[in-house]
Structure 1
Protein backbone atom coordinates (compact mmCIF):
# COMPACT_ATOMS: atom_id res chain seq x y z
CA UNK A 1 0.00 0.00 0.00
CA UNK A 2 1.39 3.40 -0.96
CA UNK A 3 1.53 6.31 1.47
CA UNK A 4 -1.30 7.98 -0.46
CA UNK A 5 -3.43 4.82 -0.24
CA UNK A 6 -2.72 4.59 3.48
CA UNK A 7 -3.67 8.25 3.89
CA UNK A 8 -6.99 7.63 2.11
CA UNK A 9 -7.71 4.64 4.34
CA UNK A 10 -6.77 6.59 7.48
CA UNK A 11 -9.06 9.43 6.47
CA UNK A 12 -11.94 7.03 5.85
CA UNK A 13 -11.37 5.13 9.10
CA UNK A 14 -11.17 8.38 11.09
CA UNK A 15 -14.30 9.75 9.41
CA UNK A 16 -16.23 6.57 10.26
CA UNK A 17 -14.99 6.52 13.86
CA UNK A 18 -15.69 10.21 14.43
CA UNK A 19 -19.15 9.93 12.91
CA UNK A 20 -20.06 6.92 15.05
CA UNK A 21 -18.75 8.65 18.16
CA UNK A 22 -20.73 11.80 17.30
CA UNK A 23 -23.92 9.74 16.98
CA UNK A 24 -23.26 7.99 20.30
CA UNK A 25 -22.46 11.29 22.00
CA UNK A 26 -25.64 12.88 20.65
CA UNK A 27 -27.71 9.96 21.93
CA UNK A 28 -25.98 10.07 25.31
CA UNK A 29 -26.32 13.83 25.83
CA UNK A 30 -29.86 14.14 24.50
CA UNK A 31 -30.97 11.58 27.08
CA UNK A 32 -30.13 14.29 29.65
CA UNK A 33 -31.71 17.11 27.65
CA UNK A 34 -28.53 18.87 26.57
CA UNK A 35 -26.82 19.28 23.23
CA UNK A 36 -23.41 17.86 22.42
CA UNK A 37 -22.05 21.43 22.46
CA UNK A 38 -23.61 21.99 25.86
CA UNK A 39 -22.04 18.80 27.18
CA UNK A 40 -18.66 19.97 25.88
CA UNK A 41 -19.05 23.26 27.76
CA UNK A 42 -19.91 21.39 30.97
CA UNK A 43 -16.90 19.11 30.54
CA UNK A 44 -14.45 21.95 29.88
CA UNK A 45 -15.71 23.91 32.89
CA UNK A 46 -15.47 20.81 35.09
CA UNK A 47 -11.89 20.24 33.99
CA UNK A 48 -10.63 23.84 33.87
CA UNK A 49 -12.84 25.71 36.34
CA UNK A 50 -14.47 29.08 35.67
CA UNK A 51 -13.42 30.61 32.35
CA UNK A 52 -14.02 33.77 30.39
CA UNK A 53 -16.11 33.39 27.24
CA UNK A 54 -12.97 33.99 25.17
CA UNK A 55 -11.06 31.23 26.95
CA UNK A 56 -14.07 28.90 26.79
CA UNK A 57 -14.53 29.46 23.05
CA UNK A 58 -10.83 28.76 22.49
CA UNK A 59 -11.08 25.52 24.48
CA UNK A 60 -14.09 24.46 22.41
CA UNK A 61 -12.55 25.53 19.06
CA UNK A 62 -15.61 27.71 18.30
CA UNK A 63 -16.14 31.44 17.90
CA UNK A 64 -17.23 33.55 20.86
CA UNK A 65 -20.81 34.01 19.60
CA UNK A 66 -21.31 30.23 19.37
CA UNK A 67 -19.94 29.75 22.88
CA UNK A 68 -22.17 32.58 24.12
CA UNK A 69 -25.31 30.96 22.66
CA UNK A 70 -24.45 27.57 24.15
CA UNK A 71 -23.71 29.12 27.54
CA UNK A 72 -27.03 30.98 27.37
CA UNK A 73 -28.96 27.73 26.87
CA UNK A 74 -27.12 26.11 29.77
CA UNK A 75 -27.67 29.18 31.93
CA UNK A 76 -31.43 29.01 31.21
CA UNK A 77 -31.40 25.46 32.58
CA UNK A 78 -29.45 26.49 35.68
CA UNK A 79 -26.38 24.46 34.74
CA UNK A 80 -23.92 27.35 34.46
CA UNK A 81 -23.74 30.87 35.82
CA UNK A 82 -22.11 34.00 34.45
CA UNK A 83 -20.26 36.00 37.08
CA UNK A 84 -18.25 39.19 37.04
CA UNK A 85 -14.53 38.50 36.94
CA UNK A 86 -13.00 39.42 40.31
CA UNK A 87 -9.85 40.71 38.54
CA UNK A 88 -11.64 42.68 35.82
CA UNK A 89 -15.13 43.96 36.57
CA UNK A 90 -15.87 44.36 32.86
CA UNK A 91 -15.17 40.70 32.11
CA UNK A 92 -17.54 37.78 32.64
CA UNK A 93 -16.55 34.32 33.76
CA UNK A 94 -18.66 31.21 33.27
CA UNK A 95 -18.78 28.53 35.93
CA UNK A 96 -20.71 25.37 36.68
CA UNK A 97 -23.56 25.47 39.14
CA UNK A 98 -24.15 22.58 41.53
CA UNK A 99 -26.72 21.15 39.08
CA UNK A 100 -24.19 21.56 36.27
CA UNK A 101 -21.56 19.65 38.23
CA UNK A 102 -24.01 16.81 38.92
CA UNK A 103 -25.04 16.56 35.27
CA UNK A 104 -21.46 16.76 34.00
CA UNK A 105 -20.46 13.93 36.37
CA UNK A 106 -23.30 11.76 35.00
CA UNK A 107 -22.38 12.51 31.41
CA UNK A 108 -18.71 11.80 32.11
CA UNK A 109 -19.54 8.56 33.91
CA UNK A 110 -21.63 7.36 30.96
CA UNK A 111 -18.90 8.31 28.46
CA UNK A 112 -16.16 6.64 30.51
CA UNK A 113 -18.25 3.50 30.86
CA UNK A 114 -18.69 3.38 27.09
CA UNK A 115 -14.98 4.01 26.45
CA UNK A 116 -14.09 1.26 28.93
CA UNK A 117 -16.36 -1.14 27.03
CA UNK A 118 -14.55 -0.26 23.78
CA UNK A 119 -11.09 -0.71 25.31
CA UNK A 120 -11.97 -3.95 27.07
CA UNK A 121 -12.72 -5.52 23.67
CA UNK A 122 -9.02 -5.10 22.78
CA UNK A 123 -5.94 -6.87 24.14
CA UNK A 124 -4.24 -4.59 26.71
CA UNK A 125 -1.21 -3.84 24.49
CA UNK A 126 -3.50 -2.90 21.59
CA UNK A 127 -5.58 -0.64 23.86
CA UNK A 128 -2.43 1.14 25.09
CA UNK A 129 -1.15 1.53 21.52
CA UNK A 130 -4.53 2.80 20.29
CA UNK A 131 -4.62 5.44 23.01
CA UNK A 132 -1.07 6.60 22.19
CA UNK A 133 -1.91 6.72 18.47
CA UNK A 134 -5.11 8.71 19.01
CA UNK A 135 -3.28 11.21 21.23
CA UNK A 136 -0.52 11.64 18.65
CA UNK A 137 -3.03 12.05 15.80
CA UNK A 138 -4.85 14.66 17.89
CA UNK A 139 -1.63 16.60 18.57
CA UNK A 140 -0.62 16.46 14.90
CA UNK A 141 -4.08 17.49 13.76
CA UNK A 142 -4.17 20.39 16.23
CA UNK A 143 -0.77 21.56 15.02
CA UNK A 144 -1.95 21.52 11.40
CA UNK A 145 -5.08 23.46 12.39
CA UNK A 146 -3.11 25.98 14.45
CA UNK A 147 -5.09 25.01 17.55
CA UNK A 148 -3.68 24.82 21.05
CA UNK A 149 -4.54 21.77 23.13
CA UNK A 150 -5.01 21.93 26.89
CA UNK A 151 -2.53 19.77 28.75
Structure 2
Protein backbone atom coordinates (compact mmCIF):
# COMPACT_ATOMS: atom_id res chain seq x y z
CA UNK A 1 0.00 0.00 0.00
CA UNK A 2 1.33 3.40 -1.02
CA UNK A 3 1.54 6.05 1.76
CA UNK A 4 -0.86 8.90 1.14
CA UNK A 5 0.39 12.37 0.40
CA UNK A 6 -0.36 13.68 3.91
CA UNK A 7 1.84 10.98 5.49
CA UNK A 8 4.77 11.91 3.24
CA UNK A 9 4.35 15.59 3.97
CA UNK A 10 4.61 15.20 7.74
CA UNK A 11 7.68 17.13 8.61
CA UNK A 12 10.49 15.42 10.49
CA UNK A 13 9.95 17.95 13.25
CA UNK A 14 6.34 16.77 13.69
CA UNK A 15 7.48 13.15 13.78
CA UNK A 16 10.14 14.11 16.32
CA UNK A 17 7.54 15.88 18.48
CA UNK A 18 5.25 12.84 18.30
CA UNK A 19 8.12 10.56 19.33
CA UNK A 20 9.10 12.98 22.12
CA UNK A 21 5.53 12.97 23.42
CA UNK A 22 5.45 9.16 23.42
CA UNK A 23 8.85 9.02 25.15
CA UNK A 24 7.72 11.54 27.76
CA UNK A 25 4.65 9.46 28.57
CA UNK A 26 6.60 6.19 28.68
CA UNK A 27 9.33 7.66 30.91
CA UNK A 28 6.76 9.25 33.22
CA UNK A 29 5.12 5.84 33.66
CA UNK A 30 8.49 4.12 34.20
CA UNK A 31 9.78 6.73 36.66
CA UNK A 32 6.53 6.66 38.63
CA UNK A 33 6.68 2.87 39.00
CA UNK A 34 10.38 2.91 39.88
CA UNK A 35 9.95 5.68 42.44
CA UNK A 36 7.39 3.56 44.27
CA UNK A 37 9.43 0.39 43.79
CA UNK A 38 12.58 2.06 45.11
CA UNK A 39 10.75 3.65 48.02
CA UNK A 40 9.13 0.36 49.01
CA UNK A 41 12.27 -1.72 48.45
CA UNK A 42 14.75 0.69 50.08
CA UNK A 43 12.83 2.40 52.86
CA UNK A 44 12.21 -0.90 54.65
CA UNK A 45 15.93 -0.70 55.53
CA UNK A 46 15.37 2.61 57.36
CA UNK A 47 17.07 4.79 54.76
CA UNK A 48 15.59 7.03 52.10
CA UNK A 49 16.01 6.54 48.37
CA UNK A 50 18.33 9.58 48.31
CA UNK A 51 20.41 8.11 51.13
CA UNK A 52 20.67 4.88 49.13
CA UNK A 53 21.86 6.87 46.10
CA UNK A 54 24.55 8.41 48.31
CA UNK A 55 25.65 4.96 49.50
CA UNK A 56 25.73 3.80 45.88
CA UNK A 57 27.92 6.74 44.84
CA UNK A 58 30.35 6.12 47.69
CA UNK A 59 30.38 2.36 47.01
CA UNK A 60 30.99 2.87 43.28
CA UNK A 61 33.40 5.83 43.36
CA UNK A 62 35.13 5.48 46.72
CA UNK A 63 35.85 8.24 49.23
CA UNK A 64 35.01 11.76 48.14
CA UNK A 65 34.30 15.21 49.42
CA UNK A 66 30.75 16.36 50.05
CA UNK A 67 30.81 18.76 47.11
CA UNK A 68 31.75 15.94 44.73
CA UNK A 69 28.97 13.77 46.13
CA UNK A 70 26.50 16.65 45.74
CA UNK A 71 27.47 16.87 42.08
CA UNK A 72 26.99 13.15 41.53
CA UNK A 73 23.60 13.23 43.24
CA UNK A 74 22.56 16.44 41.48
CA UNK A 75 21.74 17.97 44.88
CA UNK A 76 22.75 21.21 46.53
CA UNK A 77 25.42 21.08 49.22
CA UNK A 78 23.07 21.64 52.18
CA UNK A 79 20.77 18.81 51.12
CA UNK A 80 23.77 16.53 50.65
CA UNK A 81 25.01 17.45 54.13
CA UNK A 82 21.65 16.45 55.63
CA UNK A 83 21.72 13.15 53.73
CA UNK A 84 25.25 12.40 54.95
CA UNK A 85 24.44 13.48 58.52
CA UNK A 86 21.63 10.91 58.62
CA UNK A 87 23.80 8.17 57.14
CA UNK A 88 26.60 8.97 59.59
CA UNK A 89 24.21 8.77 62.57
CA UNK A 90 23.15 5.32 61.37
CA UNK A 91 26.76 4.18 60.99
CA UNK A 92 26.70 3.80 57.19
CA UNK A 93 29.04 6.68 56.31
CA UNK A 94 31.96 8.27 58.10
CA UNK A 95 33.80 11.54 57.74
CA UNK A 96 37.59 11.39 57.77
CA UNK A 97 40.41 13.77 57.08
CA UNK A 98 40.97 13.92 53.32
CA UNK A 99 44.15 12.14 52.22
CA UNK A 100 45.08 14.92 49.78
CA UNK A 101 44.25 17.90 52.00
CA UNK A 102 44.34 17.65 55.80
CA UNK A 103 42.04 20.69 56.04
CA UNK A 104 39.28 18.93 54.09
CA UNK A 105 36.91 16.14 55.04
CA UNK A 106 36.34 13.05 52.93
CA UNK A 107 33.22 10.85 53.05
CA UNK A 108 33.59 7.09 53.14
CA UNK A 109 31.12 4.26 53.18
CA UNK A 110 31.54 2.04 56.26
CA UNK A 111 31.50 -1.76 56.16
CA UNK A 112 27.93 -1.65 57.53
CA UNK A 113 27.02 0.84 54.81
CA UNK A 114 28.60 -1.36 52.13
CA UNK A 115 26.77 -4.41 53.46
CA UNK A 116 23.44 -2.57 53.47
CA UNK A 117 23.98 -1.20 49.96
CA UNK A 118 24.93 -4.65 48.64
CA UNK A 119 21.78 -6.18 50.17
CA UNK A 120 19.54 -3.53 48.64
CA UNK A 121 21.30 -3.69 45.28
CA UNK A 122 21.02 -7.50 45.07
CA UNK A 123 17.27 -7.22 45.64
CA UNK A 124 16.87 -4.54 42.96
CA UNK A 125 18.93 -6.56 40.47
CA UNK A 126 16.82 -9.64 41.15
CA UNK A 127 13.71 -7.60 40.29
CA UNK A 128 15.34 -6.42 37.05
CA UNK A 129 16.19 -10.01 36.13
CA UNK A 130 12.52 -10.93 36.52
CA UNK A 131 11.51 -8.06 34.22
CA UNK A 132 14.08 -8.99 31.57
CA UNK A 133 13.60 -12.76 31.68
CA UNK A 134 11.07 -12.90 28.84
CA UNK A 135 12.99 -10.59 26.50
CA UNK A 136 15.39 -11.70 23.80
CA UNK A 137 19.05 -11.07 24.80
CA UNK A 138 19.52 -8.60 21.92
CA UNK A 139 16.44 -6.65 23.00
CA UNK A 140 17.72 -6.58 26.60
CA UNK A 141 21.06 -5.17 25.45
CA UNK A 142 19.38 -2.61 23.18
CA UNK A 143 16.96 -1.43 25.87
CA UNK A 144 19.78 -1.02 28.36
CA UNK A 145 21.88 0.89 25.82
CA UNK A 146 19.03 3.26 24.92
CA UNK A 147 18.17 3.95 28.56
CA UNK A 148 21.84 4.57 29.39
CA UNK A 149 22.19 6.98 26.44
CA UNK A 150 19.00 8.85 27.39
CA UNK A 151 20.16 9.13 31.00
CA UNK A 152 23.56 10.53 29.94
CA UNK A 153 21.96 13.03 27.57
CA UNK A 154 19.45 14.15 30.19
CA UNK A 155 22.17 14.49 32.84
CA UNK A 156 24.35 16.53 30.47
CA UNK A 157 21.46 18.92 29.85
CA UNK A 158 20.76 19.19 33.57
CA UNK A 159 24.40 19.76 34.50
CA UNK A 160 24.78 22.38 31.77
CA UNK A 161 21.80 24.27 33.18
CA UNK A 162 19.41 23.70 30.29
CA UNK A 163 16.67 22.28 32.51
CA UNK A 164 17.68 23.91 35.77
CA UNK A 165 15.87 26.73 37.47
CA UNK A 166 12.66 27.55 39.21
CA UNK A 167 10.69 27.45 35.96
CA UNK A 168 11.13 26.42 32.39
CA UNK A 169 11.62 29.39 30.04
CA UNK A 170 8.09 28.96 28.69
CA UNK A 171 6.54 28.78 32.17
CA UNK A 172 4.40 31.60 33.44
CA UNK A 173 6.40 32.57 36.53
CA UNK A 174 3.27 33.41 38.49
CA UNK A 175 2.36 29.72 38.43
CA UNK A 176 5.72 28.42 39.65
CA UNK A 177 6.59 27.68 43.21
TM-score (norm 2): 0.79
Measure how far apart 1:118 and its partner are: 1.4
Q: How many residues align?
A: 147
1:76 corresponds in structure 2 to 89
Q: Which runs of 4+ in 1 moved over 6 A?
A: none
Query: Could you tell me which residue of structure 2 aligns to residue 87 of structure 1?
Result: 100
Displacement of 1:67 in angstroms is 0.7
Alignment of 1:1-150 (within 5 A): 2-146=15-159
State the SS of the aligned residue for 1:31. Answer: helix
> How far apart in 1 are the matches of 2:127 and 2:94?
29
Residue deviations 1:48-69 (CA, integer Å, cap 9, x gap) = 1111001111111111111100
- Please tell me whether Structure 1 or Structure 2 has the larger radius of gyration of its CA atoms: 2
Aligned mates of 1:128, 1:101 — CA distance in 2? 28
Distance of 1:38 and 1:23 partners within structure 2: 15
CA distance in 2, matches of 1:82, 1:5: 49
Higher relative contact order (CA 8 A, sep 6+): 1
Q: Which runs of 5+ in 2 are unaligned?
A: 1-13, 161-177
Q: Scaled by the length of structure 1, what TM-score is found?
A: 0.92
Cα RMSD after superposing both structures: 1.3
